[in-house]
């Protein structure tokens, strides 16, 4: 039995969910998102609670049960609070700034890196060494943050680069004589 799948997803005030077939659409103050579940689970909405039940007890049905419940919970979280990833830039001369919809990064290359924010994601740079990625889709927010981080990953000797806020970088000792 799935411990995650057994828990119903509660809808906070201001959030509505409608089920049509295997597709659930969740609308909230930040926007609207939908998820299409596989045929192995059944979706139902009763009294501001979304319940997910497996159709049978096959291994695949049990796998989809927990995953579907988590996906619906992420939809509800996204349309109420949204998701946020914070990045820090460390290194002499490394900086970031927003120009319209484009994030301009100075990362020690011979050229500036221009990163255009995709639809549904907002990027802000409150300081020159901080980047905040926000949106209602958890997967898209994480992917955009990872793409920004890939421009200059933190290196293990001096720790220079773009890192997630609070990320620990294992430091190596330099060469000895």
Pairing label, strands 16-20, 113-116: unpaired
- Is residue 70 domain-resident? yes
Of 16, 49, 80, the one marking the end of a domain is 80
Residue 174: C-alpha distances to residues 96, 108, 160, 168 (Å):
28, 21, 14, 18
Of 42, 63, 80, the one marking the end of a domain is 80
The CATH number linked to 20 is: 3.90.930.12
Q: How far apart are CA 78 and CA 65, in angstroms?
A: 20
Give every CB contact of residue 101 below 8 A, 6+ residues apart in sequence.
Answer: 116, 117
Q: Which domain holds residue 40?
A: 3-80
Residues 128 and 106 in one domain: yes
* Domains of the chain: total: 2
| H or E stretch at 113 | strand 113-116
- Is residue 104 domain-resident? yes
Residues 74 and 92 in one domain: no
Of 80, 101, 131, the one marking the end of a domain is 80
Q: How far apart are CA 63 and CA 38, in angstroms?
A: 11
Alpha helices in the chain (DSSP H): 3-6, 59-80, 138-150
Tokens 């609308």 found at: 27
Give every CB contact of residue 99 below 8 A, 6+ residues apart in sequence.
Answer: none
Q: What is the pLDDT along the chain (177 residues), one digit of tens a residue?
A: 678 989 999 999 999 999 999 999 999 999 999 999 999 999 999 999 999 999 999 999 999 999 999 999 999 999 999 999 999 999 999 999 999 999 999 999 999 999 999 999 999 999 999 999 999 999 999 999 999 999 999 999 999 999 999 999 999 998 888
Q: Kindly write down the DSSP assignment for every residue of 19-71, as one continuous string.
A: EETTEEEEEETTEEEEEE--TTEEEEEETTEEEEEESSS-HHHHHHHHHHHHH
Neighbours of 176 (CB within 10 A): 4
* Global pTM value: 0.89
- Is residue 125 domain-resident? yes
Q: How far apart are CA 73 and CA 49, in angstroms?
A: 11
């Amino acid at each position: 039995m799935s411990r995650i799948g057994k828990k119903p997803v509660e809808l906070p005030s201001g959030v509505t969910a409608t089920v049509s077939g295997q597709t659930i659409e969740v609308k909230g103050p930040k926007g609207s998102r939908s998820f299409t579940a596989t045929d192995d689970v059944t979706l139902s909405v009763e009294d501001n609670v979304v319940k997910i039940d497996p159709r049978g007890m096959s291994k695949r049905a049990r796998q989809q049960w927990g995953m579907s419940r988590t996906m619906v919970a992420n939809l509800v979280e996204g349309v109420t609070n949204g998701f946020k990833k914070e990045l820090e830039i460390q290194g002499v001369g490394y900086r970031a700034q927003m120009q319209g919809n484009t994030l301009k990064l100075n990362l020690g290359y011979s050229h500036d890196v221009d990163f255009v924010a995709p639809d549904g994601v907002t990027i802000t740079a409150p300081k020159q060494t901080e980047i905040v990625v926000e949106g209602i889709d958890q997967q898209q927010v994480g992917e955009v943050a990872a793409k920004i981080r890939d421009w200059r990953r933190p290196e293990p000797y001096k720790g220079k680069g773009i890192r997630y806020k609070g990320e620990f970088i294992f430091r190596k000792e330099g060469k000895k004589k």
